[in-house]
C-alpha cells in the first residue's frame, strides 16, 4: 500500500485517461454534438431508483447531468453532451465510487437503435476493442441465462433462482431481479464483445418512454444498458416526453419508502418538460469504467488521480 497523500492512479493510467477524454471530444465534435458545462449543484434532486443524492446547503449535488441537458434540449439547443463529476451517496466498491465522471449525451430524432450503435462506437473507439455486439431484450436475457421470464415469474420462482444467503437480503421483487441480473447473469456475459440489454420492465423505466411487448402486451421501457463482460458501462433511454407522466414518476421515486429523507424533485426540469422536450434519445456512460476497461487496471480507484479514500 502506498501512503494516503500519494495518487491512487499511476502516471501511465492518467496519461491514458487524458487520451480517452481527447478522443471523446474529437468523437462528439466530428458528429456536431455540442459540449456544455452544467452546474454540479442544483436546486432540485435527480430522483432515480437506487440512487441517493448528496445534499449541500439545501441543494443537491448532481447524480448525472440529465436535468440541465434536457433543459437545453427543451430550449431548442439541439444535440448536447457533457462530461462532469457526479456524486452518489454510499456507492463505494471496486467498480463504484461516490464521486465519479459521467459522459452523457442526447440526440434529437435518433431511434434507440441508432443511439445503441453510437454508444458502442464510442466505447470501441475509447477502448480500441471491436464493436461486436450481442443484443438481448431484458426478458430474453433472463430466459437465456436463468430460464425465467422476469415479467411473469412469481416471487417464489425468483427467490428460488437466488443463493440461500441472498434470499435473506432481498425485500421485494425488484431486489430479486437486481441481484439475479448483477450476480447470476452479468458474470456470464461474453467477455469478448459488448452485451446490450434493451426493453426493460416498465417499473425500471426511470426517464424512458413506455412500450408494450407485442407478444403479450407486457409494459416495457425504451431503455438499454451496455456491458463489457460483467462491467456495466452505459445506460440510455428513448426519452419520455410526457411532462405529467414523468413528473408523477419522479415525485413517487422522491418519496420511495426506502429513502431516509424525501427528495425535492427538480422544478426546472418539470417546467422544461411542460414547455416540451423534443423527440430524443439520451445515454450516460461511466467514464472511469471506460478508463478501467481501456487500461486493464482492477479497480475504479486506480483510474482516478485521487480516489474517495484519498480525497
Would you tell me which residues interact with another protein (CB under 8 A)?
48-51, 90-96, 163, 165-166, 168-171, 174-175, 177-179, 181-183, 204, 206, 225, 232, 235, 258, 260, 284, 286
- Locate the DSSP E strands across 117-275: 133-137, 194-201, 210-212, 219-228, 231-238
Q: What are the grid coordinates assigned to 89, written together?
A: 451517496
Nearer to another protein, 81 or 138 (CB): 138
Rounded CA-CA distance 13/10 in Å is: 5
Nearer to another protein, 183 or 244 (CB): 183
Of 64, 15, 13, nearest to 285 by C-alpha is 64
Minimum CB separation of residue 122 from another protein in Å reads: 17
Minimum CB separation of residue 18 from another protein in Å reads: 25
Whether 207 and 177 have beta carbons less than 8 Å apart is answered as no
Nearer to another protein, 204 or 247 (CB): 204
Nearer to another protein, 13 or 46 (CB): 46
Of 201, 196, 199, 185, nearest to 227 by C-alpha is 196
Minimum CB separation of residue 167 from another protein in Å reads: 8
Q: At what angle do helices 11-30 and 112-127 cross, to 10 degrees?
A: 140
Whether 92 and 290 have beta carbons less than 8 Å apart is answered as no
Q: How do beta strands 219-228 and 59-61 pair?
A: unpaired
Rounded CA-CA distance 12/30 in Å is: 27
Whether 184 and 145 have beta carbons less than 8 Å apart is answered as yes
Nearer to another protein, 2 or 171 (CB): 171
Minimum CB separation of residue 94 from another protein in Å reads: 7
Minimum CB separation of residue 173 from another protein in Å reads: 11
Backbone region of residue 276 per phi and psi (left: phi > 0; alpha: psi in -120 to 50; beta: other values): left
Nearer to another protein, 16 or 146 (CB): 146
Minimum CB separation of residue 162 from another protein in Å reads: 9
Nearer to another protein, 178 or 245 (CB): 178
Minimum CB separation of residue 4 from another protein in Å reads: 15
Amino acid at each position: 500500500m502506498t501512503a494516503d497523500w500519494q495518487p491512487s492512479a499511476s502516471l501511465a493510467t492518467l496519461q491514458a485517461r487524458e487520451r480517452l477524454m481527447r478522443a471523446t471530444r474529437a468523437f462528439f465534435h466530428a458528429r456536431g454534438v455540442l459540449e456544455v458545462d452544467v452546474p454540479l449543484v442544483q436546486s432540485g434532486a435527480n430522483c432515480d431508483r437506487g440512487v441517493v443524492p448528496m445534499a449541500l446547503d439545501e441543494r443537491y449535488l448532481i447524480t448525472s447531468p440529465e436535468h440541465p441537458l434536457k433543459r437545453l434540449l427543451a430550449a431548442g439547443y439541439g444535440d448536447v453532451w457533457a462530461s462532469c463529476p457526479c456524486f452518489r451517496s454510499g456507492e463505494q466498491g471496486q467498480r463504484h465510487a461516490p464521486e465519479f465522471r459521467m459522459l452523457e449525451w442526447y440526440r434529437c430524432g435518433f431511434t434507440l437503435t441508432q443511439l445503441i450503435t453510437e454508444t458502442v462506437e464510442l466505447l470501441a473507439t475509447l477502448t480500441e476493442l471491436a464493436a461486436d455486439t450481442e443484443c438481448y431484450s431484458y426478458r430474453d436475457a433472463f430466459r437465456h441465462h436463468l430460464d425465467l421470464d422476469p415479467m411473469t415469474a412469481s416471487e417464489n420462482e425468483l427467490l428460488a433462482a437466488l443463493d440461500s444467503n441472498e434470499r435473506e437480503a432481498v425485500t421485494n421483487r425488484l431486489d430479486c431481479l437486481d441481484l439475479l441480473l448483477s450476480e447470476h447473469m452479468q458474470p456470464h456475459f461474453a467477455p469478448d464483445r459488448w452485451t446490450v440489454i434493451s426493453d426493460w420492465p416498465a417499473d425500471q423505466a426511470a426517464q424512458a418512454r413506455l412500450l408494450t411487448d407485442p407478444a403479450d402486451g407486457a409494459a416495457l421501457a425504451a431503455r438499454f444498458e451496455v456491458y463489457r463482460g460483467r462491467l456495466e458501462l452505459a445506460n440510455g433511454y428513448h426519452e419520455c416526453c410526457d411532462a405529467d407522466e414523468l413528473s408523477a414518476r419522479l415525485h413517487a421515486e422522491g418519496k420511495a419508502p426506502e429513502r431516509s429523507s424525501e427528495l425535492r424533485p427538480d422544478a426546472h426540469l418539470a417546467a422544461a418538460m411542460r414547455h416540451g422536450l423534443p423527440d430524443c434519445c439520451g445515454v450516460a456512460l461511466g467514464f472511469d469504467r471506460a478508463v478501467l476497461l481501456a487500461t486493464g487496471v482492477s479497480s475504479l480507484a486506480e483510474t482516478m488521480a485521487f480516489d474517495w479514500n484519498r480525497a
